[in-house]
Amino acid sequence: MVQRQGGFRRGTRSSMKKEVRRKGKISIRNFLRKIEKGTQVQLVAEPAYQKGMFLPRFQGKIGTVEGQQGECYLVRLKDHNKEKTLLVHPVHLKVR
């Protein structure tokens, strides 16, 4: 069998693309932001920064912060009928 080419961003040309007015440098405020445990957050990928990015299938999902591991946060969310925990950088989180 042929091995598939590409990584987890395969087929995400439009969903992982920035709007024209959002292009440019990323705010340092988003990197240094502290989020409390139990806070509800929305997963919104920052395409310009790939570290700590989640899989595109979780784009727009809402979860709760369970803790911190290094500079990333543990986010628990429900994927259909399973509870999943993701390790996400604060650049990709939007506080609700």
Average pLDDT on 60-75 reads 97
Supply 72's token pair: 């990333």
- Residues 13-48: pLDDT tens digits? 888 888 899 898 888 999 999 999 999 999 999 999
CA 8-63-80 angle, to 5 degrees, is: 70
93-95 and 62-69: which strand pairing? unpaired
Q: Which residues are CB-neighbours of 49 under 8 A, at least 6 positions away?
A: 26, 89, 91, 92
Cβ density class 52-76: b for 16+ within 10 Å, e for less: bbbebebeebebebeeeeeebbbbe
Supply 43's token pair: 């997963």
User: Is the entire prediction scored with pTM above 0.85?
Assistant: yes
- Residues 70-90: pLDDT tens digits? 999 999 999 999 999 999 999
- Can you list the domains of the chain with their CATH numbers? 20-95 (2.30.30.70)
Q: In sequence order, which ranges of 8-50 are alpha helices (DSSP H)?
A: 28-32
Instruction: Please give the Cα distance from 56 to 36 (Å, whole number).
Output: 24
